Amino acid sequence: MINSSVNKQDFKNENIQVIIRISFAIIIMIHLSYIYLTGTWDHEYTYFQIMAVLSFIFISNLFYKLFLTTHPFFFHPGVLLWFIIGYSMRYGFKLGFVVYFSVIFSWITLIYFSSFWQQHHSVAIGWLLSYIIIPLYFFKMLNQLHQIIDQLHNDVDDSLYKAGHDPLTKLPNRFLFEQTLQKHVMDYITHKQKFALFFIDLDGFKQINDIYGHHIGDDILIEVANKILSINPHTFRLGGDEFVSIVKYNQQEELVSCANSLIKNLRKQYKENNLLLSASIGIACYSSDISTYELKKYADKSMYKAKLKGKDNYCFYEDVQE
């Protein structure tokens, strides 16, 4: 009679324990569903990943109830500890902490309601301390690993940026110019988007550099780069005082307007030394019957023709051929 009463009480306790833990999982499901639907959750994780956490908690409790009530010590605690660490590694801290607190709460209810763990109370407390301490140590190591990975990504991004940009003017360099030029060629082939090369060389820069010093020359190059960028964003520094711009256009009048704006904005008078900083611009339009090498050569020839015409001027390659 006493054994029957004890078995009924154990059965009642086990059912209460399962009901509480399932209810806890359902409450979290409702809460996270609300967060997801209202858009306050960071969409770094999908809704199904979030629900998988809670579904696993439900299934593990059901598995415990049906199969492991006789020997839970040999399996169930280790599964929960693996679940915390494994899910954190796969999906990150946010879901990891959801699992972490869910497991701790579930284990506390298990200690309180399970007759088996009441009989092995010291072992249960030991597992509880393991659930609290081991994952926190793991979270700390995982956080340090993420910081190292983020730093490596930043270093790679920084190296890629430095490899493709001029350190003084921050303009893309010759390497990125070649890549961008090929993209414009593909746009021309695919979408018939016309473009032209503007080779820009500063007039009088050497004298200014010699008279005022290289630090003033560097300031001038930065100023020139910003002025060109304000007119055309696809601008590159080839080296020294040489710049190149890729200009898209539909009518040639647009190229003339762009060239006049550049000439006007880059002109600067140094009255105390009677020096004029200006620019000579060579313009070559791309067509399907020339290569990119020829396009660059034509723009370069046009630029030297503009210098021969008196500098502070621009010249189309068509004018060079006349």
Which sequence positions are flagged as catalytic? 241
How many other C-beta atoms can be found within 10 angstroms of the C-beta atom of residue 174? Answer: 14
Q: How many residues does the structure list for the chain?
A: 322
Taking the C-alpha atoms of residue 242 and residue 208, their distance in angstroms, rounded to an integer, is: 15
Please report, to the nearest 10 degrees, the dihedral formed by the alpha carbons of residues 20, 21, 23, 25 taken in order.
160
Q: CB–CB of 124/115 below 8 Å? A: no
Q: Tell which residue, 97, 88, 106, has the closest CA to residue 17.
A: 106
Taking the C-alpha atoms of residue 261 and residue 228, their distance in angstroms, rounded to an integer, is: 9
Task: Find all residues with CB under 8 Å of 242, minimum gap 6, and list them.
Answer: 199, 200, 201
Residue 161, amino acid:
Y
How many other C-beta atoms can be found within 10 angstroms of the C-beta atom of residue 25? Answer: 22
Taking the C-alpha atoms of residue 202 and residue 267, their distance in angstroms, rounded to an integer, is: 9
